[in-house]
Each structure stands twice: as C-alpha cells, then as structure tokens.
Structure 1
C-alpha cells in the first residue's frame, strides 16, 4: 500500500528520501510528504505524485540530515494534503510520524485521546499514532520508550517511523505485519519499506521482524523486540547483502515498467526453473529439506491467494488433479479467512503471493493453521517476506522486482513454480513415469524459448488494441485450464485500461453472458489445440450468430480460420500442460497496448497499489 523512507546521516538526505519515494511509488501514489528534523520539525506535503514533492523541495531548498518521507495510497481519508503523511502531534513534545498499514482500533484510541485534549486535523488512523506517542512522552520523556508503549496499544498491521523535535539526532522505526528494513550505509543508517528504495546508498540490509522497534543514529542502531504482553528483549538481526541491483529497479530502454516486465518473462522463467533445467530428474528438495516427508503425507491441497496469484492457483488445480491425481481446492484468501471450512490434517496449505506481505493471504494462512492444518508451503518472490518466514516449506520464484502494479512476470514465474510442485507430487505418488518426467523437463527447458516466440505477436496485438480502445466492455472466454487465463486477461485489461472486462468459462455463455453479446462487445477467446477445442469452436459460433466480433488467440495447429468478424493471432504449436503460460503473454500485451491507446497511466493505475498490506 504505502511507502516509507527514513534516514539519519552525515550528509543532506533529501535527495535520498525523494529518490527512495520515487522507487516506492508503485506502493502508493495519491499523495506524498517529507519531514526533516533540524532541531525543529519542518515538513512538505502534496497531493499527487512524488515528482510534485520533489519540485516543491527544490523550490524551498529543503535540506537536512535526519528525516522521514512517505508516499501514500489512501485508506482512511480521501487523498488530500491534510491527510498526507507525515503527521505531527503537539507542541511540547512534538513528534512526526509516517505509517503503512491500518490501525484497527484507531476509533477507540481517537476518542480517548480527544478526551485528554488532543485535536485531530486529518481523517487518518495515522494521526492517532502521533498523538498516542505524544501522550506517552508526557509521562516519560524517552521517545524509544514512548514508541514501545504505544506499540503495545495498537492493533492491526503497520510499519512506523517517528521523529521527536527535541532529539534531532535519532529516528525510531517499528514493524508489525507490514514490511520494514534497515540499510547500513557509509554515511548513515536508513529505513525503508522495500530494499529497492535504498540501493542508491547501500546493499547491506537488516530485515526487521514482527514486534521489532529500532533506534537509528548516525553512529549505529539498536533493535528491541516489544511484545503485546509487555516483554522486551534486545535482539541482533542478521545483516544481509541484497542481491538486487540498481539496474533491476530502473526502467532502462522501455517506455513503462510493465512493458519491461512483460519482456523479461523468458529470462525470469528460466531463472525460476534454473535448478531443474540442468537436471535429469526433479527433487522434492526444491521446496525444502522436509518436503519429501511432508509431500508423502499429503492427500489434498488447499491454495490460498488473492488477485493474479489466485488465478495462478486455479491453473494449478487443473495440473495437480490431472497430473498428480491429488484433490485441490483454491480459495480467495479474503473469503476463506471468514468462513468455517472442513479441515483435513493431511491437506497441504499453499500460500501464493508476489510480495509475501499480502495481508489477506497471511491472515488466511494463520487461520488455516489455527483450524488444525499441519503443513504449509509458500510460493513467493521475496526471500525475506512474512510468507516465507511463516511457512514450513517454500519456493522462491526469481522474477526480480516487479514495479508495475499490474502483475505480469510474477504470474508466469508462479505458474512455473506450481508446475514444479505438480511434477514433484506426481512423482512421489507414482503418477509420473521416468519417461514422462524426462519429457516434461524437456518441455520446461524449451519454455523460455517458447515465451520469446509468444512475444513476437506484439505487432498484431497492437493492431487489435487500436480497435479495442473505443470499447467500453469486453468478454474473455476460455475452457479448462485456460479459463483462469481468461480471468487473468480480463483482470489486466480492466486494471490498466479501465475497460470493463469479464471472463467466463466458454460453456457458460448460453447460461447468461450471451445476452450481452452484440457488435459493440468484443469477445476475446483463448483457443489452444487441446481436447476442448471443438467444444470451444461451438461456443465461438454462438457469439458469431449474435453478431459478436471475435478476437482469437489460437495455437498454430488449431485450424480456426479467419473470416468476417473473426480475427486470429496464431501462437506456436500446442504446448500441452504449459500452454496456459504461453497464452498469458499476448493477453498482457493486449492490455498494455489498449492502455497506451487510451492514454492511461500504465504502471500506476487509478485506485490501485502494488503491495496490499491491508484488508
């Protein structure tokens, strides 16, 4: 959702804070702000993008060596300057706060603080934190102690950075449920929501854990873990060298991050599959040292995920049941966590999340464990994430940083990981012969090349995008394991072009959606040359009979002919079980080029943020 950057350094930190916010803008971009502590607290806030804040800071010659900054995605309160962070509290003592996440008990705390004389100037839950810390400072003049006491009263998921006017030499940060890390640089100590914000000054990172409160000074830092029950302990957290590079979080020669990330897919899928591509067989150790024992006792799978990751899970259900012969259920995490499902102790819980910080997925995982599920697997793109730490087994996709809000390469690498899971379970269950295993590994070896071929349809997709740009609605159709790919294609189109798009299993057309079809409703169909192709052709005829215009992504050997009202883009020959991955690429390109035609903000679509760390 939002992005935090903070610094205590020996040099002017404003350029570092502004650049850090620019790199975190994918997390939120409706307002931004910065505060410095030069013995007095000064702040600048603005609605809109970080570029506006940067311009304002230049105009006002804003400089300092201790400060915090924030880019916001609105939860409590509309995007406005008064709701933008940082928030201040009091005159004596005066504090400044930035915050990611949601404080669930903010209303109760607000009422209590108002009764003691605190006045609120914003609609945010963040201002509650500032006043709460200020109230504790009145009782004990130590900011670190005030933050620890405040943390004991807050409920929800959050990351916080705090400064006190009277003590300009330090910065206090804490983490509970929302990511926050420290950066150890030559000229100071830094904090941020994401390592990408700090690569400009250091690659030496410390990932804070739940309940950690850290004090940052020019000459060092300390970390204390503060629990809700009041227990505290000073802790040492490992210093890690980030594998990210500045180049990985820069756009390079591309027009948008989304375009870059679409074209990175052959490479990142190859990276994700690297341990298999050079092997002759597949090993459960891909998922951890305990994987073989856990997998042998697994009788069913429950996948928990949200959004694009949920669509990856639905594809995997087809794979797991068809290839491995294991029953699989896929749940939207935000729904699962609020119902009372039947529990099988021999069910493996699989959580899927690009960031590993998705609040609903983490909550659903915890809920599943509380119900009695014994074992869990996390599929994630971030090694230091909460999902990775909370699961028994894990598989790290190697997509690299994904900046565009609309997920692309994270999705295809998740699918690659889920195919490896399918093959592993099939092998352990005696469902995968040696010859089939070799054939599937050979197909995976060829997958990056096949993805490169899928990218070559871009010129044809551009031509289609010109026709789509004036449309207000679209239908996407798929059958079998390509139905979730239709869901993903519709999601991409509405995310970044704002065209209303819905996806249906093609056999459902005559059960309602066919009523929507006319000459103004483009229908996008995924037509692989599989066992359901003839059934799909009948569904497409239903569309044409009602005057609908078809846009079909077909395999080269699908034998669907172009005609009046039927437009065809041909991919490679049918790729078997890996076909959903290949058919994803042209749908991503279609959404991207339609958005370009419409002039929308491709990387930062309205009302959306990349990392959803709140419910």
Structure 2
C-alpha cells in the first residue's frame, strides 16, 4: 500500500516518476502526485484517482525537473482528497513523500502549530514536512534536518525529501516500511519497490531499519540507526520487465492464474534435483530443523490460509505440533513461547508490517529460530530470519494473491516433508513417491486451468448474488477459506467459509435458494462426510456448486452443479483445488464489472497497521 519513487538526474525526471508510479499502482492507492524542483520553485501536481489523471495534468502544465519525488497514496489519516495527497510541502521550501503511519503525529502537530506552522491537510505526513522545514531553517543542511526530524517520529515510515535550494540532493529514510536506492550512471533513484525503477536501473541497495540516505547524481551516502556511516550490499535485480506487462491477458490476475504451472515448476526446480534436504532452507537448516520440537506459523490474509494448510501437512507427516496464528493478533497478546519451536513467517512481499512485527515479538519471547517463506529476495523479513525459502512466483501485480499462494503451499509442503524425513517418518520409497507427485503437479494445475470455460459458465449465476458459502473438510477447509476471501476481494460479494461438518452448528440457518454453496469435494477419506453435508444443503433448497475430482462419483442434478478437477492428487490436492476457486472469483468479478486487479479499499503490500 502506498508507493514512493524519487530521482535525481541530469535529465527530466518527470517521465521516470510517472512510469514508476504506474508500476506501483498494483500496491493499491486512491490518489497520486509528483513534485519537482523547477528553477526558483517547487512545482507539484496531485490528483485523486488514477495515476493517468495525474499524468495528464502534469503534461498539461508541461512539468519538468531534474530532481523529484512521487507518491501513490492509500488513505489512512484523512479522506481521499487532493489536499491530503502527497507530496506535502512546507514553506514552499521542503517537499516530502511518505509511506507508513506516524503514531505521535497529533502531539507533533500541536507543537508545530504552536511554533507557527499552518496545516493544510489531515495527514500525518504533513507533520514530517514541517518538522524537516523547522530543522532545515536552523542550519540549511537537508540531510541533518531529516536526521533530526525522524528522531522525533514514532511509528513506521519510508520517506523521500527534496529542498528548493538543494537541487543536487535527494534525501531518504527508512523505519518499518520498505525503501531501496537505485544506482544509475550519473543518476540515482529511490523507490518502495524495484519495479518502479527497472526501466532505469537494476542495481539496487535495500535500506535497513533506521538508515538515512543522501543521494546526489553521482553518489550515495548512508548512515545507520546509530548515525554511523555504513555501506550496504549492491544487488542486481532479476525481476523481468516482461513480468510487469499484461501481454495477451485482460488482467494481471488472469495472467497470474495462468502462470501458476510455471511458477510452481520454478519453485520446485531445486527440490526435484536434490530431494527433501534441509539445505533447501539455508546453510544452517540441517542443524536447526533437526532440533525443532514444534512449529509456529505467523502470517496474514491469504498467507495465513497457506499456513492453515501446512498445519495438516506438518502434524500428519512430521508428527510434531504446529500452531498457526494471525500475525496482527499474535503481536498484541501475551503469548507463550517454546524456544525449541521454529517460527515460520509467510509473506509474499517480505515487507508485511504485521508479520514483521510478529516475528520481532516472537524473538523477544525467546524463540531461537525463524524461517521465512517469501517471494521477494532480500526483503525485510528474510533478512531478519535464520532460514529462508524463496518461492519463485515472479512478480505478482494483481492485489488478490494467486500464484504467490500456490507457491507458498509448495514451500510449506517441502518443509513438512523435510521435517518428516529428518525425523525418520519419511522413508526412501515414500520420498521418491512424493517427489514424483510434485513433478506432475504443474501438469495437474494446467489441467485444472483447462476447466476455465466450465467455470466461466457458472459466473452469471453468481453475479447477481449478494452472499455465498464455501465448504471444505480437512486439508481443503483452508482452500474454502481462500475461495471465500477471493470472492470477497474482487467481486464484493459477501462470502464465508466453514468446515462442512459445522453446517448444522449454525451456518445452515443461512441456506436458502438465494445462497449459492461452493463445495470442495475431493475424492479423499472425507468424501462421504462431505456428501452428507451436501444433502443437508439440498434439503434446505440450497444451490450447490461442487468442485470434485475426476474419479469422484458425482453427477449434475437439479440444484447440484459439478465440475471435475483432475484425478485426486493425494496430499497435494489443496494446491490443485485452489485453481478453480481462483477462476470462479475472477469470472464472477468480470460478470459484475468490478476492478479485478485493483479492488476497492485494498492494497497489495500491507506496510501499515
């Protein structure tokens, strides 16, 4: 959520800023703006709505400049209005963009008002602009002014700052929110995501907590949280520009659904060569994974549902306790910690604030070992972890997670099998069988994708509905949860998921002819139980939409619609059954005419509370 891009160059940076903001649209936003140093003044353009509207305004004003900052805002403090949009300016001298939340903004606002500052917005960000201005007036040193200002801030921030009379400087700072520096030839950049600057450079420095940077056209100087000069490693990004383009698809969500066979195959590549070896998780993994007595998974949203699936795998295969907690809740409760339990964090971006803070809290409680499952290399959560498994989903632009989720499931299954092998619960023959099943998994996912025409035919039935119920049992209950979440996210249909056995304990009261009931019904040991639950729905006049396996014995009948996924995939079945529920949500969203890739009120990377 929110996005930052900044540039200092010997060319007009407005096109760089605009393109960068377009690349950041997927993060979620409701307004956009840029500010550049233009001769004797700061010129600023802000608009509510899409980046394209701001771009048109900038072109109409012939906006140009060699130093500038840009921002896409997702409203937190104050409504969606142009005065609340970034960049914010103080004294026509300082311009600031900011991601995050400043928790002590009200106290600082009162102090600054007493000092004579006038506020034109409701945002916490304007406090930063005025604080920097206050200190800049004292010594005309922009780097020092930012350093003094951030010391007074409580909360999370990533900021970019420019000053009218410092045309050769761009200052940035990071605490709790992602920010990186891009290194060019005679030009340098800042961004909250590498995708924003890929057209200009692939060489990036990921800032650490508390880092403050001073960028000129030819240099980057960093200090750490202790105000000591520091050098950070330079990384060459392997993100492809092609992965950020739609190609032949209508939406990024559609593209990313169809990219899942490749994403899964890429994530499995090393495993298929090596088998379930601890080294897949890092150099220390053999020692750590052989000593853990249990697993605690911390995650949010879709990643939390991946964790719930992993609980079934880990306890059944490895025979050790696995607890799964919503990170945003865990970090605020008096939790009990066993130091011998491995903390596993799951985050697509590696920057999810609640998950990062939950990891810090787990460390404070005494947990010794942490493993990160993440899709973004060198992001904050992997850097704070002892072990890491990088999924290889590639860039995911659609707000509703698809290929990131299924590759997380692959990573978690790999963890479960590795723990089982280390504990002597997975013999050579079973390991070979599971690896063979994983080798065939991309093909099974492709077969599920081939069901799209049948799923599309269901969409019109759903489009007019206001509510839906998803049911699953055992391993597939978390997939029902994920299906309900996807439907909520992009269609705005109210959807809930329940373990099918819980129907008679309350949800059955909701079932009537207006409540479509989606059932995940694989051909496993719980199939007969699921069939009984379906009878309960039919008896109340409910309309059933059933995702069954090819070898299940289901037939269409009045009020019962059946689509068969490939032959039952055993313990990997949850991954295959994820595909049709994603497809269903996508096509219902199309039928309802909602914004598939940018659903209202939601953001891709949740870096604030």
TM-score norm. by structure 1 comes to 0.98
Q: What residue in structure 2 maps to residue 205 of structure 1?
A: 204
Q: What residue in structure 2 maps to residue 471 of structure 1?
A: 465
Q: What residue in structure 1 maps to residue 258 of structure 2?
A: 263
Looking at structure 1, the residues matched to 476 and 385 of structure 2 have their Cα atoms a distance apart, in angstroms, of 29
Secondary structure of 1:278 counterpart:
helix
Cα deviations by residue, 1:335-393 (Å, 9 ceiling, x for unpaired): 11111122211111000000011111111111111011111100001111110011111
Q: What residue in structure 1 maps to residue 101 of structure 2?
A: 102
Asked if the contact 1:11–1:187 (Cα under 8 Å) also holds between the matched residues in 2, the reply is no
Secondary structure of 1:362 counterpart:
helix
Per the TM alignment, residue 398 of structure 1 is displaced from its structure 2 partner at its CA by: 0.6
Per the TM alignment, residue 138 of structure 1 is displaced from its structure 2 partner at its CA by: 2.2
Looking at structure 2, the residues matched to 562 and 346 of structure 1 have their Cα atoms a distance apart, in angstroms, of 51
Asked if the contact 1:477–1:526 (Cα under 8 Å) also holds between the matched residues in 2, the reply is yes
Asked if the contact 2:400–2:489 (Cα under 8 Å) also holds between the matched residues in 1, the reply is yes
Q: What residue in structure 1 maps to residue 267 of structure 2?
A: 272
Looking at structure 2, the residues matched to 238 and 350 of structure 1 have their Cα atoms a distance apart, in angstroms, of 26
Unaligned runs of 5+ in 1: none
Secondary structure of 2:228 counterpart:
strand
User: Does the alignment pair 1:517 with 2:516?
Assistant: no
Looking at structure 2, the residues matched to 417 and 137 of structure 1 have their Cα atoms a distance apart, in angstroms, of 49
* Structure 2 counterparts to residues 171-570 of structure 1, below 5 A: 171-225=170-224, 227=225, 231-279=226-274, 281-570=275-564
Asked if the contact 2:102–2:153 (Cα under 8 Å) also holds between the matched residues in 1, the reply is yes
Looking at structure 2, the residues matched to 543 and 23 of structure 1 have their Cα atoms a distance apart, in angstroms, of 45
Asked if the contact 2:186–2:218 (Cα under 8 Å) also holds between the matched residues in 1, the reply is no
Looking at structure 2, the residues matched to 160 and 138 of structure 1 have their Cα atoms a distance apart, in angstroms, of 19
Looking at structure 2, the residues matched to 433 and 580 of structure 1 have their Cα atoms a distance apart, in angstroms, of 23
Looking at structure 2, the residues matched to 29 and 361 of structure 1 have their Cα atoms a distance apart, in angstroms, of 21
TM-score norm. by structure 2 comes to 0.99
Q: What residue in structure 2 maps to residue 58 of structure 1?
A: 59
Per the TM alignment, residue 108 of structure 1 is displaced from its structure 2 partner at its CA by: 1.2
Looking at structure 1, the residues matched to 65 and 136 of structure 2 have their Cα atoms a distance apart, in angstroms, of 24
Q: Select which of 569, 578, 581 maps to 2:572.
A: 578
Secondary structure of 2:159 counterpart:
strand
Structure 1 runs, 4 residues or longer, greater than 4 Å off: none
Q: What residue in structure 2 maps to residue 81 of structure 1?
A: 82
Q: What residue in structure 2 maps to residue 18 of structure 1?
A: 18
Per the TM alignment, residue 139 of structure 1 is displaced from its structure 2 partner at its CA by: 2.0
Asked if the contact 2:304–2:324 (Cα under 8 Å) also holds between the matched residues in 1, the reply is yes
Looking at structure 2, the residues matched to 153 and 400 of structure 1 have their Cα atoms a distance apart, in angstroms, of 38
RMSD over aligned Cα atoms: 0.9
Asked if the contact 1:38–1:168 (Cα under 8 Å) also holds between the matched residues in 2, the reply is no
Per the TM alignment, residue 258 of structure 1 is displaced from its structure 2 partner at its CA by: 0.5
Q: State which drifts further: 548-557 or 337-346.
A: 337-346
Secondary structure of 2:82 counterpart:
coil
Looking at structure 2, the residues matched to 219 and 572 of structure 1 have their Cα atoms a distance apart, in angstroms, of 57
Cα deviations by residue, 1:93-144 (Å, 9 ceiling, x for unpaired): x100000011111111111111111111111000000011111112221010
- Equivalenced residue count is 608
Secondary structure of 1:523 counterpart:
strand
Secondary structure of 1:345 counterpart:
coil
Looking at structure 2, the residues matched to 182 and 379 of structure 1 have their Cα atoms a distance apart, in angstroms, of 24
Q: What residue in structure 1 maps to residue 29 of structure 2?
A: 29
Looking at structure 2, the residues matched to 441 and 467 of structure 1 have their Cα atoms a distance apart, in angstroms, of 39
Asked if the contact 1:7–1:68 (Cα under 8 Å) also holds between the matched residues in 2, the reply is yes
Looking at structure 1, the residues matched to 166 and 381 of structure 2 have their Cα atoms a distance apart, in angstroms, of 36
Looking at structure 2, the residues matched to 215 and 19 of structure 1 have their Cα atoms a distance apart, in angstroms, of 23
User: Does the alignment pair 1:71 with 2:72?
Assistant: yes
Q: State which drifts further: 232-241 or 489-498.
A: 232-241
Looking at structure 1, the residues matched to 339 and 227 of structure 2 have their Cα atoms a distance apart, in angstroms, of 35
Secondary structure of 2:24 counterpart:
helix
Per the TM alignment, residue 187 of structure 1 is displaced from its structure 2 partner at its CA by: 4.6
Looking at structure 2, the residues matched to 422 and 579 of structure 1 have their Cα atoms a distance apart, in angstroms, of 15
Per the TM alignment, residue 219 of structure 1 is displaced from its structure 2 partner at its CA by: 2.1
Secondary structure of 1:501 counterpart:
strand
Looking at structure 2, the residues matched to 265 and 187 of structure 1 have their Cα atoms a distance apart, in angstroms, of 39
Looking at structure 1, the residues matched to 186 and 12 of structure 2 have their Cα atoms a distance apart, in angstroms, of 10
Q: State which drifts further: 201-210 or 421-430.
A: 201-210
Looking at structure 2, the residues matched to 338 and 558 of structure 1 have their Cα atoms a distance apart, in angstroms, of 45
Secondary structure of 1:133 counterpart:
helix
Looking at structure 1, the residues matched to 510 and 28 of structure 2 have their Cα atoms a distance apart, in angstroms, of 35
Asked if the contact 2:185–2:218 (Cα under 8 Å) also holds between the matched residues in 1, the reply is no
Unaligned runs of 5+ in 2: none
Q: What residue in structure 2 maps to residue 7 of structure 1?
A: 7
Asked if the contact 1:309–1:352 (Cα under 8 Å) also holds between the matched residues in 2, the reply is yes
